[in-house]
Amino acid sequence: MSDKYSLLIMRDSSEKVRRLRFSVKLIKFLLVSLIVFALVAAAGIAFSIYSFKQYNTLVTENSELKATLTSTNVQLERLKAYEALLKDSEEVVRMQMPMNEEADVNKIVESNQTEEINTQEVVATVFPDAVNATADAPEAEALETASTDTPEGEGMPAAESPAKISNVEIRTRSPKSIRLAFDLNNDNQGVTLTGSVDLALITKDNKVINVSVPSHDMIFQINYYKRMSTAFPLPEGVTPADIQSLRLTVNANGKRLQTETFAFSDSASE
């Protein structure tokens, strides 16, 4: 038997006949080549569709990342400006202080590491020009009367106080130690607030326990914003389960500006 196939081509108007011969191997090669070409073409089309979808996804993600990066850069520049203003104000205060007062400040900071010092005395020593004597002032008496008549934990209305407390974080470091951090903001940017923050624990049986912390942790001088943090041990006989809330009192420029109470959760731990 012959291993070739013949293809006869003949026109109707002519008697001439053309014969084309193809071997079996050639026919098989052409069929295999046609199948392989079809598969490659299908794979190329599928890959093109997949790549186009991936490109669209990347373009969308790139746009979102650019928007996030722009917002982050704006916030970073704002924070840098706040930090520069705070550093400038601290340098100006130190330059205006006499040498003996600066030495007293260093002694106070060192003594705070070993013993407790009244925060009001430290504020009066560090910033003598910013603290006004208000024991006999009518305005101070009115503030004290208002704070006495107001239910505990409430303080002055927010519209009357430039000091604002936000982003409060209370954590139990151990069964006998508490960590506190919060943001202190000055809404009246035309006035520099100089003072300290007093802490008090309110137990579930409504007992108020004043908390002593390192004085330099709770002293501030701000034009805009400051992040404050401290850590303190619980009083003897008090556990995190006994605490209901934590009261923060902001004293600045010789006045009690703000008193706020925040719920305490003994389930939060570091």
Give the C-alpha separation, 47 to 32, whole Å.
23
Whole-number Cα distances in Å, 27 to 21, 32, 201 = 11, 9, 94
Q: Which residue type occupies 28?
A: K
What residues in the chain have per-residue pLDDT under 50? 1, 99-102, 105, 108-109, 112-120, 122-123, 125-159, 266-270
202, 260 Cβ separation under 8 angstroms: no
Residue 37: what pLDDT?
Answer: 95
Residue 122: what pLDDT?
Answer: 44
Give the C-alpha separation, 128 to 266, whole Å.
39
| Closest listed residue to residue 256, CA positions, set 165, 124, 163 | 163
3.30.1490.100, 3.40.50.1220, 2.60.40.10, 3.10.129.10: CATH of 97-263: 2.60.40.10
| Closest listed residue to residue 220, CA positions, set 176, 262, 162 | 162
- Domain boundaries along the sequence of the chain: 4-66, 97-263
Residue 48: what pLDDT?
Answer: 94
Residue 270: what pLDDT?
Answer: 47
Residue 222: what pLDDT?
Answer: 85
- For the stretch 151-182, what's the b/e string if a residue is b when 16 or more beta carbons lie within 10 angstroms of its beta carbon? eebebbeeeebbbbbeeeebebeeeeebbbeb
Residue 107: what pLDDT?
Answer: 52
Residue 28 structure tokens:
């098989």
What is the number of residues in the chain?
A: 270
**For strand 225-233 and strand 177-186, is the pairing parallel, antiparallel, or unpaired?**
antiparallel
211, β-bridge pairs: 199
Q: Which residue type occupies 43?
A: A
> To the nearest 10°, the Cα dihedral for 90, 95, 98, 103?
60
